[in-house]
Amino acid sequence: MKQLILIIAIFAFWQAVFAEQYDFVVSQDGSADFLTVQEAIMAVPDFRDSPTVIFVKSGVYKEKIILPTSKTKVVLIGEDALSTILTFDDYASKLNRFGEEMGTTGSSSFFVFGDDFTAKHVTFQNSAGPVGQAVAIRVTGDRAYFEHCRFVGFQDTLYAHGEMSRQYYKDCYIEGTTDFIFGWATAVFEDCEIYSKAGGQYITAASTLEEVDYGFVFVNCKLTGDAPEHKVYLGRPWRIHAKTVFINTEMGAHIRPEGWHNWNKPEAEKTAFYGEFKSTGPGADPSARVAWSKQLDQNALSTFSISAILAGNDNWIPGANLANKLWPSAHHKN
């Protein structure tokens, strides 16, 4: 009996300690501060200088969520990425209340407009299915950081939208069919699994601005999927100055030998920057790649350090400002 009381006391103590790490808690059972993620976001003080940490308990939250520009430094922590799911089911050709098609942007399940957004152990999903463009998350704000998150959908899953936005994805899982990582942003994907579903043909569709040095950079990632062998391109240029690079990436047999597609834009072969460094696996075949792509050498690689890509004028270090605020969560899974 004494042991049971001691265990209960210890459990209560650690619950209290962990609770202090969060400003708000969201739960669908009514036991926390809010029932919905959107309510918690709207409770965050506008343009707050310090992080506001929202803990989301396990559950499937069917909400179309907007993080406004005024909600800065919001940190969203899920109880577990596999069981903390933020989802909605809009899609581009779906009609809105005015009888107009929503379009790709309007289909987004989660809109991130505020700067310095962080998410950990959360699944962002569009559950509309294979119905064309259907965005799980659109990220427009600057200095966005995702760790141990899942991005689930079909076409256009992850919209790395902001033209001058910097985004960092660490140990994440991203799945889709066609152009399922797309947009203008400068984004680094490190130690991520990129899963190509059957029925798709392209992983990336960058639309990098001409004056921006970096687009999408994948570092130590794995390209997996159930797409057929030699079916999927690494990328195609949504805009002609698209920039996409894969560094030390393991590529499955679903990747086409030629690697890249010009989207029927011959001019893009002179303006886009598509490169690889030491790709491995059955989908890595440097000798078969299109002539207008690049195999990077060690000297070129020095310009693709994460700090060089993301630092900007403010010397941003992803996640550094949260190191002392958040408890480690080694038990969480992707």
**Is residue 54 domain-resident?**
yes
Note the pTM of the prediction, 2 decimals: 0.91
101, 92 contact by CB (below 8 A): yes
> pLDDT value at position 300?
87
324 found inside a domain = no
190: which 2 tokens? 């490190």
Q: What is the pLDDT of residue 323?
A: 52
Tell me how crowded residue 104 is: count the other CB atoms within 10 A of its CB. Answer: 20
Residues in the chain, total: 334
Q: Is residue 298 part of a domain?
A: yes
**Residue 165 within any structural domain of the chain:** yes
**pLDDT recorded at residue 325:** 52
Total of domains in the chain:
1
Q: What is the pLDDT of residue 302?
A: 85
Question: Does some domain include residue 331?
Answer: no
> What's the confidence (pLDDT) of residue 321?
61
Torsion of CA 114, 118, 119, 120, to 10 degrees: -170
Please give the full DSSP string across 93-104, using - where no structure is assigned: TSB-TTS-B-HH
Q: Residue 39 CB: number of other CB atoms within 10 A?
A: 13
d(CA 139, CA 112): 5
Which residue in 156, 179, 213, 297 is the catalytic one?
179
Q: Is residue 334 part of a domain?
A: no
List, run by run, the mean pLDDT of 10-residue segments along the chain (334 residues): 48 44 94 96 96 97 98 97 98 93 96 98 98 98 98 98 96 98 98 97 98 97 98 98 98 98 97 97 96 94 90 88 48 39
Query: Please, are residues 236 and 213 in contact by the beta-carbon 8 Å criterion?
Result: no
Task: Confirm whether 333 is domain-assigned.
Answer: no
Instruction: Specify whether 213 is catalytic.
Output: no
Its domain, for residue 55, covers 2-318
Burial of 58 (0-12, 13-18, 19+ CB in 10 A): middle
* Confidence at residue 242, expressed as pLDDT on a 0 to 100 scale: 98
CATH number for the domain that contains residue 108:
2.160.20.10
